[in-house]
Homo-oligomer: A and B are copies of this chain.
């Protein structure tokens, strides 16, 4: 484990306590007190003083990266050089060109070693949606309406970050769900608040290579709860993400179902299943989930959405040729 802030510590606990076949061997964090505390909590035998030392530790078979975005590129490249499977938290790297270099490095090796932590691909709700879509009982998909809502965002979380940090989850899951690529994007913003202000919602309309229309609301200050919505409109009907409702409550003049406070209440199972699948593939198979190529594509789409945000109007999404490694 490299990087054990909120997200990384969660990964470490999943590894240590909830993933059969996994052994949490070594932990690194820039803040050594954090790595030590977590090693104690999880009985991990080693605390690394340097992330590259951890990568090269012969007792380490595979690496999870959850350190700051700016460190991702170098660490993933190091894992590739060491030929070790790596699960890298999203984004794959801080910039589109860094993502590209990772794709090139992995392609040169000729073997897939990188998985990006777009965990929704393992979420039972999304998996069910895809299974039903692919059963073709409702015909071909025509449109997809999505919303991603958080309770609140820090003041420094502006509209650009809504795209690069939140909407990227949608870009990845939409490509996966539809087995399709994104070719154009147009970014809208309600003019009610200052454009690009912290927490101002963003609304994106995307086209896919096969002609589907996708719209995405990203609303990081939605106040009422953590809520992820998706409705696939197909030729004969629609499919929507069910809700993860444990209890329904009738009280104070309303019948209701609670929302989680944040992603932990919504995607805990997705993170666990992602880790379980990754550990299995690390023991000797091809990683499932989001590939380095997918991580690169998410960065490309995000950059196009940012261009549209700045210049208004549609931005074309230019995709380089996909190496056969990712077929």
Residues of A at the B interface (CB closer than 8 Å) are 17-22, 124-125, 127-129, 132, 137-140, 142-143, 145, 147, 186, 188-193, 201, 203, 205, 207, 210-213, 215, 217, 219, 221-225, 227, 233, 235-243, 245-259, 261, 276, 313-314
Contacts and interface: CB of A to CB of B under 8 A. Distances in A.
Given A192-B142, A217-B145, A224 B242 contact: no
A249 B238 contact: yes
Contact of A243 (B147, B217, B235, B255): B255
Contact of A20 (B18, B190, B236): B18
23 contacts: A18-B20, A125-B246, A128-B247, A138-B251, A142-B190, A143-B201, A186-B186, A190-B212, A191-B212, A203-B205, A203-B215, A223-B235, A224-B252, A227-B250, A237-B250, A239-B248, A240-B248, A240-B249, A250-B259, A254-B256, A254-B257, A255-B257, A313-B314
Contacts of A211: 190-193
B240 A201 contact: no
A21 B19 CA distance: 9
A51 to B, nearest CB: 26
Nearest to A236: B223
Contact of A249 (B132, B140, B212, B251): B132
A113 B318 CA distance: 56
Given A124-B246, A222-B237, A242-B257, 14 more contacts: A17-B20, A137-B251, A142-B192, A190-B212, A191-B212, A219-B233, A223-B235, A225-B253, A225-B254, A237-B249, A237-B251, A239-B247, A242-B245, A254-B258
Nearest to A221: B235
A41 to B, nearest CB: 15
B248 A203 contact: no
Contact of A213 (B138, B188, B243): B188
Contacts of A20: 17-22
